[in-house]
Amino acid sequence: VKGLCELAGHAHVAATTTDETRVLALAGRSQTGKISVWLANLTPDDVPVDVSGLGSDQGPLKIWDGRTSRQIQRDTSGRDRLEMTPYAIVRIG
């Protein structure tokens, strides 16, 4: 919830997934133009996600997965796909 509060004051950016029964998306653009995208895996299964539409400079990737409460941070430069673990939440940017 704290992370989602960072979107307060951001302009809404349309974000959709091919199957919103499996993965939901929410995005916003800050006043400086930085875009943040949140993805949520709604299933008990691993779900591959194509993030190539975000461009080559996506910024940091933060993951909270369904198996642990810890946050994992990864570099996303050049990444076109990611594998979301069951019930994972991902923040890009």
Q: State the pLDDT at residue 55.
A: 65
User: Looking at residue 52, what DSSP letter applies?
Assistant: G
Q: State the pLDDT at residue 51.
A: 80
What percentage of the chain carries pLDDT values higher than 70?
76
pTM exceeding the 0.85 threshold for the entire prediction: no
Q: Any idea of the CA torsion for 28, 7, 34, 68, to the nearest 10 degrees?
A: -100
Residues 61, 91: contact at Cβ < 8 Å?
A: yes
- Ordered by where they begin, the domains of the chain are 2-92 (2.60.40.1180)
pLDDT tens for 10-51 read 888 888 888 999 999 988 888 888 888 899 999 999 999 888
Q: Token pair 């979301």 is at which residue?
A: 84
- pLDDT score of 78 more than 60: no
Please name which of 29, 11, 10, 23 lies closest in space to residue 90, comparing C-alpha atoms.
23
Q: State the pLDDT at residue 58.
A: 61
Give the strand pairing for 71-75 and 60-64: antiparallel
